[in-house]
Amino acid sequence: MTTSAERSEASPVRSRRALLAGSVGNFVEWYEFGVYGYFATIIAANFFTPEGGSDVEALVKTYASFALAFFFRPVGAALFGRIGDRIGRRPTLILVIGLMTLATTLIGLLPTYATVGALAPWLLTLLRILQGLSAGGEFGGAVSLMTEFAPPGRRGLYGSWQSFTVALGLLGGAGAAALLATVLSEAALVDWGWRLPFLLTLPLGAVALWLRLRLEETPRFREAEAAPAAPPPTGEVVRAIVLGAGRIMGWAAAGYTFQVVLPSYLQSSLNASFREALIATVLANLGFAASIIPAGLVSDRVGRRPVMLTGAALVVLLALPLMNLLQDEGASAAAKGAAVLAAGAVVGLLAGPGPAMLAEMFPTSVRCTGLGLAYALSNAVFSGCAGLVITELIKRTGSVDIPAYYAAATCAVSVFALLTLRGDDHRRPLR
């Protein structure tokens, strides 16, 4: 039975405050990850290209550093998830935003290979590891916060804001990169301009930290703290984590393929300019952002299963035709723009209901850890490795269709995992 104190905790004002604090911090986290992906070729030139090294080799090393950060996400999810499940969602979210802001700002101040030699890529990799730890804790804490504060029947909508602010963060990173590419010469951009988006994280992170310091703990966590329940069996939690990772692997792989890897792919494989690649990425992220919240809303009405299955199936069917359209020199710029816009929108069908779907898989006592690990493991393998795998396979096979095959194959696996979803999970109360 819900007490009057708990009803007060879940008031509309507190729910909106929690949504804002979770969203702003999430925006900062993903803004940074987007910036690193969009500037991958410039970072490669500054940190991973000793004299005599090739551009392709440097790009592979850059994506290896990118992947390494993702592989520390599960560590962060386990570490900060335990804090979130034992101490509270609020302290977790404060810790992770502080760590991410510090690490990202320091990247903007790092010396390059030309200045300190082989020390430069090691310093960058260390900061990427800190970012990976932080991002691993962010998802579990933010989604737990948003869904546990959500009014009845609105978990899909509230959870979709996590994915929506991912899109906004990636768009913010792409917008910053596009603006700098427009106002600065290529030489200035490579020399010092790339640092500016990283340094911008400092004021953004300060705002997010201030909002999170004003947060109150979620009513679900307070209820569980007041009346502790026996923890679920470890085997049951592990099975749920593996199943959750399978359900979102297509989202992870297709999302990063179309939204982060795309700029470097267009430049290195299709000879597009830096500006053209960024415009394509902005369009993909606009399509992604536009479909997320409607998908979350619809999933509150019809269920997570039909919406997410539709998204995964469409990626399987459309990935190769969309990629072939981008490769067609005779296709118009409008047609190519529509293709990347549609690619982003399809991924949004997975990302909108995804956070609520994961939250509904775990009880309150392990929700931060469980959903955080499912998301982090899937992203470590299928997002963090996307750039590295795609670049290396294109290098070895010469096939420019590799990104489409990668996105379609992972979404095909997700289709089977999503078939195990119950049709009424969206109506059941959180455990």
Question: What are 88's two structure tokens?
Answer: 């509270």
- 171's torsion region: left (phi>0), alpha (psi -120 to 50) or beta? alpha
Percent pLDDT > 70 in the chain is 90
Q: What is the DSSP string of 152-214?
A: TT-HHHHHHHHHHHHHHHHHHHHHHHHHHHHHS-HHHIIIIITHHHHHTHHHHHHHHHHHHHT
- 215's torsion region: left (phi>0), alpha (psi -120 to 50) or beta? beta
222 occurs within a structural domain: no
Q: Which helix (H) or strand (E) holds 333?
A: helix 333-351
11-25: per-residue pLDDT in tens?
Answer: 777 888 888 888 888
Q: Which residue has the higher pLDDT, 206 or 336?
A: 206
- Whether 4 shows a pLDDT value over 50: the answer reads no
Mean pLDDT of 252-271: 75
Mean pLDDT of 319-342: 83
Question: What are 429's two structure tokens?
Answer: 């109360």
Confidence category of residue 173, pLDDT binned at 50, 70, 90? confident
Please give the pLDDT value at position 295.
97
Please give the pLDDT value at position 9.
44
Please give the pLDDT value at position 430.
86
**CATH number of residue 372's parent domain:** 1.20.1250.20
Please give the pLDDT value at position 283.
85
97 occurs within a structural domain: yes
- The CA distance from 140 to 397, in Å, is 38
Best CA proximity match to 369, nearest among 240, 266, 277, 253: 240
Q: Which of 39-53, 225-239, 353-367, 414-428 has the lowest mean pLDDT?
A: 39-53
Confidence category of residue 2, pLDDT binned at 50, 70, 90? very low
CB atoms within 10 A of CB 118: 8
Confidence category of residue 171, pLDDT binned at 50, 70, 90? confident
Q: What is the DSSP letter of 429?
A: P
Mean pLDDT of 71-86: 91
Please give the pLDDT value at position 29.
77
Please give the pLDDT value at position 63.
62
- What's the structural domain count of the chain? 1
Confidence category of residue 83, pLDDT binned at 50, 70, 90? very high
223 occurs within a structural domain: no
Q: Count of alpha carbons within 13 Å of 401, Cβ hemisphere only?
A: 11
- Whether 79 shows a pLDDT value over 90: the answer reads yes
- The CA distance from 379 to 303, in Å, is 24
Burial bucket for residue 223 (CB in 10 Å: 0-12, 13-18, 19+): middle
Mean pLDDT of 246-258: 90
Average pLDDT taken over every residue of the chain: 85
Looking up tokens 């804001």, which residue turns up? 161
Please give the pLDDT value at position 219.
86
Question: What are 348's two structure tokens?
Answer: 């949004």
At CA 391, angle to CA 386 and CA 394, rounded to 5? 120
- The CA distance from 138 to 6, in Å, is 25
301-329: per-residue pLDDT in tens?
Answer: 999 999 999 999 999 999 999 888 877 77
| C-alpha dihedral sign at 187, 336, 36, 69 | negative
- The CA distance from 217 to 57, in Å, is 47
- The CA distance from 156 to 141, in Å, is 16
378-404: per-residue pLDDT in tens?
Answer: 988 887 777 778 878 888 888 878 888
Looking up tokens 């520390």, which residue turns up? 72
Report yes or no: 11 and 216 within 8 Å, Cβ to Cβ: no
Please give the pLDDT value at position 410.
94
- Whether 160 shows a pLDDT value over 70: the answer reads yes
By residue range, what is the domain housing residue 198? Answer: 10-217+233-427
Q: What is the DSSP letter of 372?
A: H
Report yes or no: 95 and 137 within 8 Å, Cβ to Cβ: yes
Best CA proximity match to 103, nearest among 135, 81, 79, 75: 135
Q: Count of alpha carbons within 13 Å of 248, Cβ hemisphere only?
A: 32
- The pTM of this model reads 0.84
Looking up tokens 């998830």, which residue turns up? 81
138 alpha-carbon distance from chain centroid: 10
- Whether 54 shows a pLDDT value over 80: the answer reads no
- Whether 52 shows a pLDDT value over 50: the answer reads no
Please give the pLDDT value at position 296.
96
- Whether 100 shows a pLDDT value over 80: the answer reads yes
Q: Which residue has the higher pLDDT, 414 or 336?
A: 414
Residue spans of alpha helices (H) in 354-401: 354-359, 367-382, 386-397
Report yes or no: 49 and 341 within 8 Å, Cβ to Cβ: no
Please give the pLDDT value at position 60.
63
Question: What are 109's two structure tokens?
Answer: 């101040």
Mean pLDDT of 99-125: 87
224 occurs within a structural domain: no
31 occurs within a structural domain: yes
2 occurs within a structural domain: no
Burial bucket for residue 271 (CB in 10 Å: 0-12, 13-18, 19+): exposed
Mean pLDDT of 334-349: 88
- Whether 1 shows a pLDDT value over 60: the answer reads no
- Whether 363 shows a pLDDT value over 90: the answer reads yes
94 alpha-carbon distance from chain centroid: 19
365 alpha-carbon distance from chain centroid: 24
Please give the pLDDT value at position 140.
92
3 occurs within a structural domain: no
Q: Which of 158-162, 365-369, 386-390 has the lowest mean pLDDT?
A: 386-390
Question: What are 362's two structure tokens?
Answer: 């775990």
Mean pLDDT of 220-228: 83
Report yes or no: 430 and 156 within 8 Å, Cβ to Cβ: no
